[in-house]
Structure 1
Amino acid sequence: MANSGARASTSLDVEKDAGHDYAHLTNDSVRSFSWHDVTVTVKDRQTKQPKKLLSSVSGSVQAGEMLALMGPSGSGKTTLLNVLAHRAKSSSTAECSLCLNGNPTSLNQFRKLSAYVEQEDALVGSLTVKETLYFAAQLALPSSIPKREKMARISSLISAFGLQDQRDTLIGTPIRKGVSGGQKRRVSVAAMLVTSPKVLFLDEPTSGLDSAASLEVMSFVKDIARKYKILVVASIHQPSTTTFELFDKLLLLSKGKTAYNGPISGIYSYFADLGYTMPLYTNPAEFVIHLVNTDFIRDQDEANHRLQVLHTAYEKSAPPTLPAGEDGESSTPVSVYESTGTENALLIPLTLIHRSFIKSYRDFIAYGIRIAMYLALAIMMGTVWLRLAPTQTNIVAFTNSIFFGGAFMSFMAVAYIPAFLEDLHLYQKERLNGLYGPTSFLLANFVIGVPFLFVIAVLFSVVAYWLSNMRPSAEGFWVWTMWLFLDLLAAESLVVLLSSLVPIFVIALAAVAFANGLWMSVNGFMVQPETLNVFWRYVFHYIDYQGYVFRGMMVNEFGKRAYSCGEGCRCMYPSDLEDQCMIDGKAVLAQYGYGTGDVGKYVGYMLIIIAGYRIFGWLVLWLKR
């Protein structure tokens, strides 16, 4: 993948000050970010008519300033933040003029200059604070930057955000305590700042935090913004008074229109002049939200009249909207780092593999529990079908154990859904920040999963194969293991496809369970292929990966083994060995219509199915760009 995450061409010089490292960032090429007449329209689901989410919203922020986007639920602040960050949804129509230093911006240019911190912390809980920032630097910074400089940036940010004592502490998983909520939020912001962005977007940065933690996080952001001349735009919901006063400007929205746009210090006199005087000892943030929030006012006529007054007053007081290049700023083009397009093509997948590897051996829930679960399943299977003798009375039992081993191993792949959805959430955030695309993500996912699934296949086979007394040979064991490995690869590839298509845990779980139930029904065990309904046979049976696993395991067991007919030599299946009071296993295969010469073909079909699931999974993620 191309290094679309390369950032602005800024210099970061690490200096010594009283024995401590700190970062000195020269960031003088971006002095202002402005937007003019932002209008967003969507199609109303009920009336099917165009509906405006934002109407002619304008504003600006200068280097070193923090602007707060505020408004009640449904006011359009998240929509505006996404438009400003070039993240508008494809289902909406956005008309706007976005300018840096008075010059229009493009998506590629803006992604190299900006960073976006999501409302929810999309962090890998099994990484430490230092490792989180390290992988952020590896993914976002060009490979031409020496590792020493990258580590210097990381150390500077850890120091600047007051995380020195937590640098080697895990972010935290459900069973391993990590950093606090406020510290986790600081890590999220620091991970975005490691690339020295010029514009920083924060979506509800204080969500889920108490007032003390909120003040802590925003104070650090304020210090960083002033020190390094970063432009900060944050959507925020009812901050405390002290947190609110950290901001330089407020853009207040209501029903998609601007109710106030100006300095924080000016809100008192502005609203007082309109007849809305703020009472003493009142949180100013709560006061302005109350003014524009009409959801809980019984007299809707009064509420609508108040909004009309506020919107009209702003329209009269707002400065005229100017075309690009005429907003009072000198139209100096913004210089950005130009990537070669190939310098991180190999580094990014390797970085993702490295990060996933660390997660795989630290995250007990994602991997350790799955191994324990599969081993428990192997012990159960081996002890239920314990030491089956090679007699004709056990042929059905051997067949049942083959079906159970393949079908239920693939069915239990549903346990991978939570871990994949966590990785998918992180991928979506990093892709929106322009770091990498679906190819690198799915390549790393596949590479890190292959050895893990092979270990599971071997461990399961060591227990279940020998306890059940399958064909006693090294060749038979390893062929069984191969089929189990391909089975798991296909099942996990199906999880990747369906979870990418519907990234909601309950729905993905139901979809994968249903698909595996379908494959069990038509794989040729419950109903033999020749008697299977025409629709199910030709539409699903021949693309059923469980069917090819069942065939391969059946050939492995019965293709090179004979079974005793027991007392009286009344053989259930006629074969060439009947005169020896034995049944040739090939006679069992003949009942299913299986031959011994098609194993290579079955393996080929399995590889095609696995590749097909992965390709369709890639296509789903690519289309969701």
Structure 2
Amino acid sequence: MSSRLSLNNTNKSPSVSPPLNVSSLNLEAGHSVLFENKTISKLQWTNISVSVRARKNHERAQLLKSCSAQVVAGNLLALMGPSGSGKTTLLNVLAGRSHITFKGTIEVNDQEVSGTMIRRISSFVQQADTHLGGLTVEESIYFTSCLANPSMTKDEMKLRNDEVIEALGLRAQLKTLVSSPFRKSLSGGQMRRLSLATALITGPKILLLDEPTSGLDSAASFEVMSFISRFAKRYGLIVIASIHQPSTSTLELFDSVMLISGGQTCYFGPRTNLVPYFSRSHLIPLYCNPAEFLLELVNIDFCSDGKKAQEVEAIVREWQILADREVVSHTDRRRGLTLPFAKTNKVSTSYAFWILLRRNVVKSYRDPLVYGSRAAMNIALAFVIGTVWLRLPYEQSSIQPTINCLFFSSAFMGLMAVAYAPAIIEDIKLLQTEHANRLYTPLPFMIANLAIGVPWLVMVALSFSIATYWLTGLFNDSAAFGVFTMWLFVDLLAAESMIVLVAAIVPHFITALALASFANGLWLAVGGFLVPKNILNVFWRYAFHYIDFQTYVFQGMMVNQFRKSIYRCSDLKDGQHFCMFPSDLAAEGKIEGTAILDAYGYDYGPNTWAKWLGLSLAIVLMHRVVGLGMLYWRVRQL
């Protein structure tokens, strides 16, 4: 076979269904509404190079070096290479991820495009499936469709959703939860197909897939890639997928292949020319999977000497010589043009908030990790507290146990908020994925998260109060009961806001759990109960005591309980009394509750509670605002 292989046959676009005009759609005729009427015929990248500076020696490591290729509408390109060869880095570049700095050009329809432009017309499906566990397949697709297509009518949206569901074989799983510890959930292959469905439902022109068959057996891999291939052919999508050791049948679904090693191109061209090209210089066993053989051929990770590296360098040079002869350089490039085919529908903050709020409502009552488990544990411990501190009499011996009861109740609420970490981390990971695909920003996400939390936390605080307040015999007054419930709610709201902040800083469960536990321990230590404020170390008092939300919650509970209470002193012989806290009623053998508050240094003026409430809500706002800033920083790293 001649060494001069033609690469230009990848420029020939396959026969694809013509794009459809949504505005002139006849819904009753059953026409497709999957994409807009503009089409993209070609994606091309030229001399893409990426290097990063190593932390230890500060030398630059080359992740990609002069990678060039092109894909036409309806074609599937397989990115193949050993682990660490640069496949995911190249996908990040093509996806317009802002944290990647590269040299070279990316063109769509022979127009150079920026990262912002490429994100408007593409969807990136990452290797890890990211979905909300409390939603069904149907709900996951529906809410994504709402966020992606705000101007589409219900009929058009339903037709689009049904088309994607049918094409990806998810009809039988519509009512199945994505994941659940108590009910049937999706398999690995079904999760992959759902990830593809939520990407396709946004109407991309370019679909980027990072290891779409990861974790699947050969049959499931072939099934998933078959769906993608049919979609690409039917709708003229450009599909680029990194794939690791595909089976022979799966590899045959691709139109072209790009084989890279150490960030350098070893081959790019038609899939049908892959084996003949390498057969010229290497003997490929007859019954061997060509993909496995080639990956082993260009893998230099496990070679102990430089011989294998030299062989790979020779393969790279040989390919570069051929590519320089065959590939025509495009010199007539137009720069800085606005793509006429880019999506223009922009989701407003209010609309995104409304959709996210509806999605949060579904998740909140269906996923036990959101509020159900916490509500159950809070109610259970409320009965424990109520029976351990059962009907404490208003005697001097009950003063300290009552204070301990208030402290334990407020502290427990803050500690139990840690249980919210898995749910909010799951939400943040989905936010990162959906923001990268330009569906919404962190602002409506944060507002929706706060809005759904308020009614649930009110119910949790009320249920705890009902089970605890009257059993323990706290101050018998309906208004005092309401104030006690209010402080529990504020405690819950502040603690949950702190967890949101922690998760925004470190969206990894174990790390977030450790950091949140440390923060809770810190708040308990400096809150003013274990060590009174007037003797607390100056550093801890001014650095942390005044920004501790539990400080104000506990003080509010203390004032609510003791401001109008009167306790009996201990009786001694000869009619004498022993009063732990001196007050004006000591001669009568009684202790005014205000004397207890004076001993702790708590102000109980008529408007003091309002100041404490304002400070507590200010801390909640601070947690949310800083958390929002961290989310914006995090999504911009993608």
Partner of 2:396: 392
How far apart, CA to CA, are the structure 2 residues paired with 1:22 and 1:15?
A: 8
Alpha carbons of 1:356 and 1:25: their partners in 2 closer, same or farther (altered >3 Å)? closer
1:183 to 182, 190, 202: 190
For residue 526 of structure 1, what is the amino acid of its counterpart?
L
How far apart, CA to CA, are the structure 2 residues paired with 1:174 and 1:314?
A: 51
How far apart, CA to CA, are the structure 1 residues paired with 2:34 and 2:115?
A: 28
Partner of 2:135: 127
3-state SS of the aligned residue for 2:50? strand
2:115 to 91, 94, 107: 107
How far apart, CA to CA, are the structure 2 residues paired with 1:468 and 1:241?
A: 71
Partner of 2:363: 359
How far apart, CA to CA, are the structure 2 residues paired with 1:115 and 1:622?
A: 20
Corresponding residue pairs, total: 605
Partner of 1:5: none
Matched, 1:64 2:70: no
How far apart, CA to CA, are the structure 1 residues paired with 2:249 and 2:506?
A: 41
Contact 1:101 1:333 in 2 (8 A): no
Structure 1 residue 366 displacement after superposition: 3.0
3-state SS of the aligned residue for 1:338? coil
In the superposition, the TM-score normalised over structure 2's length comes to 0.92
Matched, 1:313 2:318: yes
Judge which range, 593-602 or 565-574, deviates more.
Answer: 565-574
The Cα offsets for residues 443-471 of structure 1, whole Å up to 9 and x where unpaired, read as 11111111111111111111111111110
How far apart, CA to CA, are the structure 2 residues paired with 1:148 and 1:344?
A: 21
Contact 2:189 2:224 in 1 (8 A): yes
Partner of 1:439: 443
Partner of 1:533: 537
Contact 1:14 1:24 in 2 (8 A): no
Alpha carbons of 1:575 and 1:15: their partners in 2 closer, same or farther (altered >3 Å)? closer
Contact 1:23 1:153 in 2 (8 A): yes
Partner of 2:238: 231
The Cα offsets for residues 424-452 of structure 1, whole Å up to 9 and x where unpaired, read as 11111111111111111111111111111
Matches within 5 A, 1:609-624: 609-624=619-634
Alpha carbons of 1:10 and 1:407: their partners in 2 closer, same or farther (altered >3 Å)? farther
Structure 1 residue 578 displacement after superposition: 2.1
Contact 2:20 2:33 in 1 (8 A): no
Contact 1:14 1:22 in 2 (8 A): no
Structure 1 residue 125 displacement after superposition: 2.2
The Cα offsets for residues 407-435 of structure 1, whole Å up to 9 and x where unpaired, read as 12101111111111111111111111111
Partner of 1:562: 566
1:267 to 245, 257, 274: 274
Structure 1 residue 202 displacement after superposition: 0.6
3-state SS of the aligned residue for 1:93? coil
3-state SS of the aligned residue for 2:74? coil
How far apart, CA to CA, are the structure 2 residues paired with 1:14 and 1:485?
A: 52
Alpha carbons of 1:23 and 1:599: their partners in 2 closer, same or farther (altered >3 Å)? closer
Matched, 1:470 2:494: no
Structure 1 residue 108 displacement after superposition: 3.0
Partner of 2:39: 29
Structure 1 residue 324 displacement after superposition: 5.8
Matches within 5 A, 1:407-446: 407-446=411-450
Matches within 5 A, 1:322-341: 322-323=329-330, 325=332, 334-339=340-345
How far apart, CA to CA, are the structure 1 residues paired with 2:578 and 2:107?
A: 89
Partner of 1:350: 354
Structure 1 residue 326 displacement after superposition: 5.9
3-state SS of the aligned residue for 1:293? coil
Structure 1 residue 507 displacement after superposition: 1.1
How far apart, CA to CA, are the structure 1 residues paired with 2:626 and 2:338?
A: 45
Partner of 1:303: 308
Contact 1:383 1:468 in 2 (8 A): yes
Structure 1 residue 127 displacement after superposition: 1.6
Contact 1:112 1:336 in 2 (8 A): yes
How far apart, CA to CA, are the structure 1 residues paired with 2:349 and 2:631?
A: 19
Identity of aligned residues (%): 45
3-state SS of the aligned residue for 2:283? coil
Matched, 1:242 2:246: no
Structure 1 residue 336 displacement after superposition: 2.2
Contact 2:571 2:578 in 1 (8 A): yes
Partner of 1:523: 527
How far apart, CA to CA, are the structure 1 residues paired with 2:544 and 2:75?
A: 60
The Cα offsets for residues 239-282 of structure 1, whole Å up to 9 and x where unpaired, read as 11101110011111100100000111001111122x11211111
RMSD: 1.9
How far apart, CA to CA, are the structure 2 residues paired with 1:451 and 1:543?
A: 25
Partner of 2:85: 75
How far apart, CA to CA, are the structure 2 residues paired with 1:475 and 1:351?
A: 37
Partner of 1:505: 509
How far apart, CA to CA, are the structure 2 residues paired with 1:263 and 1:26?
A: 29
How far apart, CA to CA, are the structure 2 residues paired with 1:21 and 1:321?
A: 39
How far apart, CA to CA, are the structure 2 residues paired with 1:301 and 1:108?
A: 42
3-state SS of the aligned residue for 1:36? strand
Partner of 1:161: 168
How far apart, CA to CA, are the structure 1 residues paired with 2:109 and 2:510?
A: 47
Alpha carbons of 1:14 and 1:25: their partners in 2 closer, same or farther (altered >3 Å)? farther
Contact 1:70 1:236 in 2 (8 A): yes
Matched, 1:543 2:547: yes
Contact 1:58 1:321 in 2 (8 A): no
Matched, 1:41 2:51: yes
How far apart, CA to CA, are the structure 2 residues paired with 1:224 and 1:218?
A: 10
How far apart, CA to CA, are the structure 1 residues paired with 2:213 and 2:284?
A: 24
2:409 to 397, 405, 408: 405
Contact 2:34 2:201 in 1 (8 A): no
Contact 2:369 2:419 in 1 (8 A): no
The Cα offsets for residues 583-609 of structure 1, whole Å up to 9 and x where unpaired, read as 110000000111211111101100111
Contact 1:21 1:156 in 2 (8 A): no
Alpha carbons of 1:608 and 1:332: their partners in 2 closer, same or farther (altered >3 Å)? closer
For residue 575 of structure 1, what is the amino acid of its counterpart?
S
How far apart, CA to CA, are the structure 1 residues paired with 2:205 and 2:478?
A: 62
1:291 to 274, 291, 297: 297
Partner of 1:587: 595
In the superposition, the TM-score normalised over structure 1's length comes to 0.93
3-state SS of the aligned residue for 2:45? strand
Matched, 1:575 2:580: no
Contact 2:46 2:105 in 1 (8 A): yes
For residue 319 of structure 2, what is the amino acid of its counterpart?
Y
Matched, 1:55 2:65: yes
Alpha carbons of 1:480 and 1:333: their partners in 2 closer, same or farther (altered >3 Å)? closer
For residue 288 of structure 1, what is the amino acid of its counterpart?
L
Partner of 1:3: none
Matches within 5 A, 1:593-604: 593-597=601-605, 598-604=608-614
Partner of 1:4: none
Partner of 2:286: 280
3-state SS of the aligned residue for 2:349? coil
Name structure 1 gaps, 5 residues minimum.
1-8
Structure 1 residue 505 displacement after superposition: 1.1
For residue 342 of structure 2, what is the amino acid of its counterpart?
V
Structure 1 residue 170 displacement after superposition: 2.1
Alpha carbons of 1:578 and 1:28: their partners in 2 closer, same or farther (altered >3 Å)? closer
Contact 2:85 2:261 in 1 (8 A): yes
How far apart, CA to CA, are the structure 2 residues paired with 1:110 and 1:39?
A: 18
Structure 1 residue 373 displacement after superposition: 1.0
For residue 132 of structure 1, what is the amino acid of its counterpart?
S
